[in-house]
């Protein structure tokens, strides 16, 4: 049975926690409550050793997330808007979450929805999903990482085109520019996502955390700094029981049983 929050559902399947944004009537648009509940839930799951991987998805078959809740924009001052983005940043909570996070993209993935997917580590889309940063059509620009994470992922030319035109495009195009890792028929989206999530969830949680941190350094530091810190994180693995278990299991030709120690 999923645990129910005002705007979210949480379902645990083995070591995978599935968080569903549950506002299908509003195409799962991110309002303040969703951001707060999402960030609080991640804080809870952060220290929960029974959870190895988190999956984000949207309720219903139309939308992953159709962006920030535009209805909340009316009358908001620049200072309140800044507070919403920075004080309750669900995107930062995902980005800095110490476990892998997967976006299971089942429909409209627009604006803040695309930014949430970009903050995740892996993106898997259904053939029926569509993508875009349409903020420009509202006379604004992306403010949740759209200009930064998107540019690092797909390159400046593609990011610029998406952000300047606000155009919405299909999953095949998203795949061709490297915005998503996989595109599968809608009926296979959950199975494909769970297959990847379960494969990851069996690994050493410490190695996963350090691997995520190391990969993120690539776009946040220069090469020399990144390489130096990679060695430090790699060396840190040698202080863990999981490394001893992984190596022993290989030599003994058996499956490792990692404990996160």
Active-site amino acid positions: 115, 135
- Smaller CB separation from ligand COA, 59 or 110: 110
- For residues 94 to 133, the per-residue mask of contacts with ligand COA, x marking binding by CB under 6 A and - elsewhere, is --------------x-xxx---------------------
DSSP structure string for 58-82: ESTTTEEE-SB-GGGTTT--HHHHH
CA dist 186 and 163 (Å) reads 27
Select from 37, 135, 230, 242 the one that contacts ligand COA (CB under 6 A).
135
The continuous run of DSSP H or E covering 6 comes out as none
Select from 51, 66, 103, 179 the one that contacts ligand COA (CB under 6 A).
66
Is 68 a binding residue for ligand COA by CB under 6 A? The answer is: yes
Select from 27, 149, 192, 203 the one that contacts ligand COA (CB under 6 A).
27
Is 33 a binding residue for ligand COA by CB under 6 A? The answer is: no
Look at the block and give the residue holding tokens 């495009």: 169
CA dist 57 and 186 (Å) reads 13
What's the gap between Cα 36 and its chain centre?
A: 16
DSSP structure string for 117-156: HHHSSEEEEETT-EEE-GGGGGT----SSTTTHHHHHH-H
Select from 8, 29, 162, 200 the one that contacts ligand COA (CB under 6 A).
29
Footprint on this chain of ligand COA (rule: CB under 6 A): 26-27, 29, 62, 66-71, 108, 110-112, 134-135, 138
């Amino acid at each position: 049975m999923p645990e129910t929050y005002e705007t979210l559902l949480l379902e645990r399947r083995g070591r995978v926690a599935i968080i569903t944004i549950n506002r299908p009537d509003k195409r799962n648009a991110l309002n303040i409550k969703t951001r707060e509940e999402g960030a609080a839930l991640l804080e809870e799951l952060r220290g929960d050793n029974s959870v190895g991987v988190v999956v984000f998805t949207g309720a219903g078959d139309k939308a992953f997330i159709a962006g920030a809740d535009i209805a909340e924009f009316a009358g908001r001052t620049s200072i309140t808007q800044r507070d919403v983005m920075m004080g309750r940043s669900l995107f930062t909570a995902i980005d800095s979450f110490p476990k892998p996070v997967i976006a299971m993209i089942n429909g409209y993935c627009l604006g803040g929805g695309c930014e949430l997917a970009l903050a995740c580590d892996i993106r898997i889309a259904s053939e029926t999903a569509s993508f875009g940063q349409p903020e420009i059509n509202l006379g604004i620009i992306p403010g949740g990482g759209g200009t930064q994470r998107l540019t690092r992922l797909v390159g400046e030319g593609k990011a610029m085109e998406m952000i300047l035109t606000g155009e919405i495009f299909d999953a095949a195009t998203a795949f061709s520019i490297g915005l998503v890792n996989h595109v599968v028929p809608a009926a296979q989206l959950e199975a494909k996502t769970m297959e990847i999530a379960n494969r990851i969830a069996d690994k050493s949680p410490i190695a996963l955390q350090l691997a995520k941190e190391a990969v993120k350094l690539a776009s946040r530091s220069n090469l020399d700094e990144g390489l130096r810190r990679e060695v430090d994180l790699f060396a840190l693995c040698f202080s863990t029981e999981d490394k001893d278990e992984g190596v022993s299991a290989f030599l003994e030709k058996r499956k490792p049983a990692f404990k996160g120690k």
